[in-house]
Amino acid sequence: MTGPFERVRLDKWLWAARFFKTRSDATAAVDGGKVEVNGDRAKPARPVRVGDEVRVREGPFEHVLVVRALAERRGSAQVAATLYEETPASVAERARVAERLRSAPPPVLYERGGRPTKKDRRALRRLFDEP
């Protein structure tokens, strides 16, 4: 799976490293500013080299990775795990965010029991649609 590449497109590498299920998902994330390479916002075709630092934001979590190997094709999860190394600070921060999310109370949109009435739904829509 991994080969003697000097550089690989960022979207291909993210897909091969199993951060995104499809290449188009990886491309959309890069275009949306969710991925940085060496501290700079990247484009999907940006070449990634061994030793680059890649920062990937997925929801409330942020992965800070160091590229250890390159691959253009998606392999098994075991092979994908060898493509990068996550920094210890990133692992600790993700654990801290996960614990904070676990301990947070669930959001309450409707406090009365049962299904909201039409009047209640309109009030909720006004509340959330207006800035």
Domain ranges of the chain: 8-106
CATH code linked to domain 8-106:
3.10.290.10
Place of tokens 């999860």: 77
Quote the pLDDT of residue 125: 87
Quote the pLDDT of residue 130: 67
Tens-level pLDDT at each residue, the chain (131 residues): 555 668 899 999 999 999 999 999 999 999 999 999 999 999 999 999 999 999 999 999 999 999 999 998 999 999 999 999 999 999 999 999 999 989 988 776 666 677 888 998 898 888 888 65
3-state secondary structure labels for all residues of the chain: CECCCCCEEHHHHHHHCCCCCCHHHHHHHHHCCCEEECCEECCCCCEECCCCEEEEEECCEEEEEEECCCECCCCCHHHHHCCEEECHHHHHHHHHHHHHHHHCCCCCCCCCCCCCCHHHHHHHHHHHHCC
